[in-house]
Amino acid sequence: MMNPQILIVGAGPTGLVMAYNLARHNIPFRIIDRSDGPGQASRAMAILPRTLEFYQQFGFVDEVIDHGIKMEDVYVRVKNKIKAKVHLGSLGEGLSPFPFVLTFPQDDHERFLLEKLKNLGIEVEWKTELLSLAEHGEGVKTLLKAQQEETAYFKYICGCDGAHSTVRKQMKIEFKGEKYKQHFYVMDVEGSGEMMKNQKISISFSNEEFLICMPVRSKGTYRMIGIIPSAFGDQNDVKAENIHAFLQQTFGAQVEGINWFSTYHIHHRVASRFRQGRTFLSGDAAHIHSPAGGQGMNTGIGDAINLSWKLAAVLQHKAALSILDTYEEERLPFAELLVNTTDRAFKRMVARDKTSQFFRKHIFPPVLSFLFRFPYPRYKAFTILSQIRIKYRNSNLSSGQGTKVQSGDRLPYVEGNFEYLQSLNWQIHVYGTAAEKLKKSMQERGFSLHEFSWNPYLKKAGLQKDALYVIRPDGYIGFISSEQRIDLLHQYLNTHKILPFTNEY
């Protein structure tokens, strides 16, 4: 692209989503990765409803769903006997257009996003490494190396380069946290047996051991995750065959072929800052945590969405420069909350002491079964798992007073309203009747205004009749006025120098 203004370092899902959103806003950039191509292993699997909502904004969610496998049920097993069953298929009915969890292997996911970028004329620069960066005047001076070294200047740097981020290290940003003492294995297998029936997720416990099993890619292929048994001695020299025999003996898993096997340690860490001057951190470069709930990759994609539209707005002079401060303001607190909550849940799952074993075998399954009979626990579980609970109420970009739904919240999903978010632009929503003065004012300023006929379900969703909602390009509410105060609306728009994007894709 001509005169690139942004350098994206790292072409995993976070970097690729960052690139796609910038491209949709016609922002010139380069995206580099030191690898020679996209990943070759399935790695992150789950795509959560909030990510699917973002992909709906991009217009390709149906293709993603067609490529993946919907997770309908979760079974909890203790010593190969089913002790609890949770139906995920309808868990978020009415809360999201996508009330389910999808599995879509990361390597396939990356190739899908690369193809979408290629359709926009964007190619990743593989085998290209960032050697150094330093702020220089009104930009950043970088030293890149492909076949030869190159000095290049950019307005901003987006570090999406993973847990060992060169960008983070160059900026000397602290990565606080620690490593779990357990040594884990992950494998993709072809197999059969009770836990591999009917495209379901199975969580199995047996004494101090546990196993997570879920379908991947095609029928009969499964992802398995567990802790390397302490009886194996040298944890760094465990072979797939050792785990194969252990799985069959302990969990009754009939493994017929192993497509991929790896062992690893898990860390939980959060960068002390997500922004330093003109440099930003996103995804695993900013936060890493346990795989509990499949939150990691989806959180990185949320980072990318949040930052990319703000960079586009600033570079196109459609928002005040201060809007970039709200990236760290909004995303860092959620990352810290996520790391803390998944850390607690994960420690309970993997601990080998007698109390934790007793909890997993005798307390967790019946309590889970009991709670999921009732609407509120199901609702609460979905909001947490799906990431639709993420709120930016304390952001400088959130203003105005709502009732149940506040500024900074994700726009509640009701029939027909999410389709307008595909514009990736600022817009006004009124659920009820919009005053003629408001319509005229927004038309003069170039903002789209959408009216929705009032019905009782809108109140149940937390929306106020006839209230004015300013919706951000990422689907969050920026401003609320219950009385359609045009003066306060103009004050909000003028304070942040907000103008609508004029180059809609």
Domains observed in the chain? 4-65+104-173+271-343 (3.50.50.60), 175-265 (3.30.9.10), 407-494 (3.40.30.120)
Q: 427 with 471: CB under 8 angstroms? A: yes
Q: How far is CA 394 from CA 24, 339, 353, 406, in A?
A: 28, 19, 40, 10
H/E stretch holding 76 reads strand 73-78
Other beta carbons within 10 angstroms of residue 232's beta carbon come to: 15
Residue 503, pLDDT above cutoff 70: no
pLDDT at 194: 72
**CA-to-CA distance for 270 and 290, rounded, in angstroms?**
12
Task: Tell me the pLDDT band of 1, cut-offs 50, 70 and 90.
Answer: very low
The pTM for the full model equals 0.93
Residue 505, pLDDT above cutoff 60: no
Mean pLDDT, the chain, whole residue set = 90
For residue 339, with 0-12 CB atoms within 10 Å meaning exposed, 13-18 middle and 19 or more buried, which class applies? buried
pLDDT, one tens digit per residue, over 98-124 is: 998 898 988 899 999 999 999 999 999
Helices (DSSP H) in 59-190: which residue ranges?
A: 61-67, 106-119, 166-170
Identify residue 129 by its one-letter amino acid code.
E
Other beta carbons within 10 angstroms of residue 249's beta carbon come to: 10
pLDDT at 293: 63
Nearest Cα to Cα of residue 479 among 470, 488, 487, 466: 470
Task: Tell me the pLDDT band of 222, cut-offs 50, 70 and 90.
Answer: confident
Residue 158 main-chain phi, psi, to 5 deg? -115, 110
Task: Tell me the pLDDT band of 125, cut-offs 50, 70 and 90.
Answer: very high
Q: How far is CA 375 from the centre of its chain?
A: 25
Share of the chain above pLDDT 70, in %: 96
Q: How far is CA 237 from the centre of its chain?
A: 33
Q: 228 with 184: CB under 8 angstroms? A: yes
pLDDT, one tens digit per residue, over 316-364 is: 999 999 999 999 999 999 999 888 887 777 777 777 778 878 888 888 8
Tokens representing 472 are 């951000």
**CA-to-CA distance for 57 and 473, rounded, in angstroms?**
9
Q: 231: number of CA atoms within 13 Å, CB side? A: 5
Length of the chain (residues): 505
Tokens representing 246 are 């252990």
Of 113-117, 339-343, 421-425, 483-487, the least confident: 339-343
**CA-to-CA distance for 121 and 113, rounded, in angstroms?**
13
Q: Which residues contact 153 (CB under 8 A, 6 or more apart)?
A: 136, 139, 140, 141, 142
Residue in the structure block whose two tokens are 């005229």: 440
Q: 192 with 256: CB under 8 angstroms? A: yes
pLDDT at 41: 64
pLDDT, one tens digit per residue, over 277-317 is: 999 999 999 999 877 667 889 999 999 999 999 999 999 99
Other beta carbons within 10 angstroms of residue 142's beta carbon come to: 23
